[in-house]
Amino acid sequence: MNELAGKHIVLGLSGGVACYKAADLCRLLIKEGATVQVVMTEAAGQFMTPVTMQALSGRRVYSSQWDAREPNNMPHINLSREADAILIAPCSADFIARLVQGRADELLSLLCLARPVDRVPLLLAPAMNREMWAHPATQRNLAQVAQDGAVVLGVGNGDQACGETGDGRMLEPSELLEELVAFFVPKVLANRRVLITAGPTFEAMDPVRGITNLSSGKMGFSIARAAREAGADVTLVAGPVHLPTPRGVRRVDVQSAQEMLAAVEQHAQSASVFIATAAVADWRPATSSSQKIKKDGSGQPPVLGFVENPDILATVARSPHALTGDLFCVGFAAESHDLLAHATAKRARKGVPLLVGNIGPATFGQDDNALLLVDAQGHRELPRASKRTLAHQLVAEIARRLPEQ
């Protein structure tokens, strides 16, 4: 996906070992469709050559405010006016201090100062030793730059180039990419808490076997990411799937339908939206053996009894929180045929305001899908697209159905 198509990013490098990650970040930004103009401080040039950054960005690198290549000799004005965002990665402790003071004696801090604050956002990816990060001066400066309108992206924790371990590592290039993409998404779910179920459930027969299904969890994980990008506080209750947790999303891992229900009930009270994408097993073995069920030599398979699992969506939709309209419930229906008729009937049966239908075999494990939205007013198709695109469209559809805050 070209998630940054049409965006022009000024990527600023200040001095720090994490400059090596900026090279990869530059490639990722371009791969997502952005154009990237690299600006480096003199200190950054000690860690990374402009040659590398020029080769990766396909543009001349700027590093001096006296760069006469610009016809008007004002690179600080031209570069900052063109940008859709300025991202400083790595952003050193010294550079943060310079921003606090509004210093203008070198190009990168000068162009940050010269940017139109209401139109060109400034995002900072700090990178420094843990003691420098924890120092009151740095924390004070960070609070000040945030107050002055910069977006401070936070830091990672772990091994540092100096051999110490702690907070202060620059976020990984893929994390910075996610943050930048999220930054541009309209915040239609700001101040909303969204609870999502995703993936299959696993109903144990014994310690090594059980019943499950082919749900990959991709749709639910995509919706969790899109909801968080739209500004929501997101809790994702996930069955057994091997998908990375979207950045900024709280994940609760469960196995069975009963565990999923318990986790959902714990979080539903404080949520304002519940989206049930999980392919919950309708049945579970009536008994689960604590030891592996062995063949007994008779050639006869064991007789398994089943009991019905709780319907998580219907249970939540019937709760007082939902019935009073404080919790907006969204169900999914995976059908094999007659999608509209089944989805309409399922919406009524589950008692939810919005039901999202899709054709099961056409979606399980796939990266794209097509959705049919059914509500009290009628139905609407979201044509085949990537699950990521559909997730954004669905989030927008949900947002416009929510009561005003």
CA atoms within 13 A on the CB side of 354: 23
Q: Is 30 annotated as a binding residue?
A: no
Q: Is 312 part of any known ligand binding site? A: yes
Structure tokens at 24: 């990869």
Q: Let me know: does 211 contact 203? Beta carbons within 8 Å.
A: yes
Nearer to ligand CTP, 30 or 345 (CB): 345
Closer Cβ to ligand CTP, 23 or 333, answer by number: 333
- Smallest gap from Cβ 313 to ligand CTP, in A, equals 3
| Nearest to ligand CTP of 73, 336 (CB atom) | 336
Provide, rounded to whole angstroms, the least separation between the CB of residue 336 and ligand CTP: 9
- In angstroms and rounded to an integer, the radius of gyration of the C-alpha atoms of the chain is 26
**Which of 229, 212, 198, 315 is CA-nearest to residue 266?**
315
| End-to-end CA gap in the chain | 33
Catalytic residue from among 19, 26, 112, 162: 162
Give the nearest distance from C-beta 273 to ligand CTP in angstroms. 13
91 belongs to the catalytic site: no
Which residues share a beta bridge with 195?
235, 274
> What is the greatest pairwise CA distance in the chain?
91
Nearest to ligand CTP of 45, 310 (CB atom): 310
Q: Is 218 annotated as a binding residue?
A: no
Interacting residues of 369 by C-beta distance below 8 A, sequence separation 6+: 219, 358, 362, 363, 384, 385, 387, 390
d(CA 218, CA 214): 11
Whether residue 259 contacts residue 237, with contact meaning beta carbons closer than 8 Å, is answered with no
Smaller CB separation from ligand CTP, 96 or 281: 281
Q: Is 311 annotated as a binding residue?
A: yes
Q: How far is CA 114 from CA 74, 80, 104, 287, in A?
A: 11, 7, 9, 69
H/E element holding 227? helix 218-229
For the CB of residue 257, give the shortest distance to ligand CTP in the complex, in Å. 6
Q: How far apart are CA 107 and CA 39, in angstroms?
A: 8
3-class secondary-structure state, position 306: strand
Please report the DSSP string for 153-205 in residue order: ---EEEE-TTS-EEEEEPPPHHHHHHHHHHHHS--TTTT-EEEEEESB--EEE
Min dist CB 397 to ligand CTP, Å, is 16
Do the annotations mark residue 313 as ligand-binding?
Answer: yes
- Structure token digits, residue 287: 């008994």
Which residue, 44 or 264, is less far from ligand CTP as judged by CB? 264
Alpha helix segments (H runs only) across 13-74: 19-31, 50-57
Do residues 2 and 32 lie in contact, with contact meaning Cβ atoms separated by under 8 Å? yes
323 is in an annotated binding site: no
Q: Which residues bind ligand CTP (CB under 6 A)?
A: 197, 257, 276-278, 280, 282, 309, 311-313, 331-334, 346, 350
Residue 233 annotated in ligand binding? no
Measured from the CB of residue 330, what is the shortest distance to ligand CTP in angstroms? 8
Binding region for CTP:
282, 292, 310-313, 332, 346, 350
Catalytic positions are 162
Binding region:
282, 292, 310-313, 332, 346, 350
